[in-house]
Amino acid sequence: MRKGEQTRQMILQRASVIFNQHGYKASSISEVMKATRLEKGGIYRHFDSKDELSIEAFDYMAKLMYQRYKQALSGKQGLMERLNAVIEVFENLMNENPFPGGCPIINAALEADDSYPTLLEHSRTAMDRLREIVTRIIQEGIQEEELVQEINSRELGDFWISSLEGALALSMLYGDKKYIQAAARHLLAYTQTKRLK
């Protein structure tokens, strides 16, 4: 990796931590300067504006999250093993792993609105991909005859994501894993009611 590219990655990584914890609009370039130990010019050499840095930092985190899910699911067999792998990624977010501040996708989703259309668009794309991961697990469960045919896999997948994202928010609010663990238990129990074998 060339030195310029290394610096760029370092800025993205440290800015991500700030944006994910405190929000894109609420964070200032001076906070990024402090975290990177760079002057303003050193940051703007790599990014045209705070907006560009924000969007690239979001995409950096969204990509990392996607890789996490792919890694967690790699080699997992069967519906329950796969669903538990998804739960584990959510639980790890609570442990500031891969970064502090919780799920970057729901954080950006809650911040972005019509006043910040680029972030809104990128949040939607990232949430689409996250929803797709669980929807596919359910589809595979139906194909592998673990689940009944009558399930609307997209809708059930969205229910999983909604519940886990909401439970992660509660767990972060109280600093207590029990909300995400309870959601996981109930989601698994509910999905069990739709099992064939």
Q: CB-wise, 89 or 109, nearer to its own copies?
A: 109
Distance from C-alpha of 127 to C-alpha of 130, rounded to nearest angstrom: 5
Q: What mask, x for binding its own copies by CB under 8 A, covers residues 123 to 162? A: xx--x---------------------------xx-xx-xx
Report which residue type is found at 48. D
Which one, of 180, 136, 170, lies nearest residue 156 by Cα? 136
Contact 79, 147 (CB under 8 A): yes
* Residues in 20-49 at the binding interface with its own copies, rule: CB under 8 A: 21-23, 25-26
Q: CB-wise, 46 or 61, nearer to its own copies?
A: 61
Choice from 30, 95, 149, 193 touching its own copies (CB under 8 A): 193
Q: CB-wise, 43 or 106, nearer to its own copies?
A: 106
Distance from C-alpha of 140 to C-alpha of 78, rounded to nearest angstrom: 8
Which one, of 77, 73, 54, lies nearest residue 65 by Cα? 73
Residue 134: CB minimum distance to its own copies, A = 12
Three state DSSP letters for 79-100: HHHHHHHHHHHHHHHHCCCCCC
Residues in the site for its own copies, rule: CB under 8 A?
21-23, 25-26, 102, 106-107, 109-113, 115, 120, 123-124, 127, 155-156, 158-159, 161-167, 169-170, 172-174, 179, 182-183, 185-186, 189-190, 193
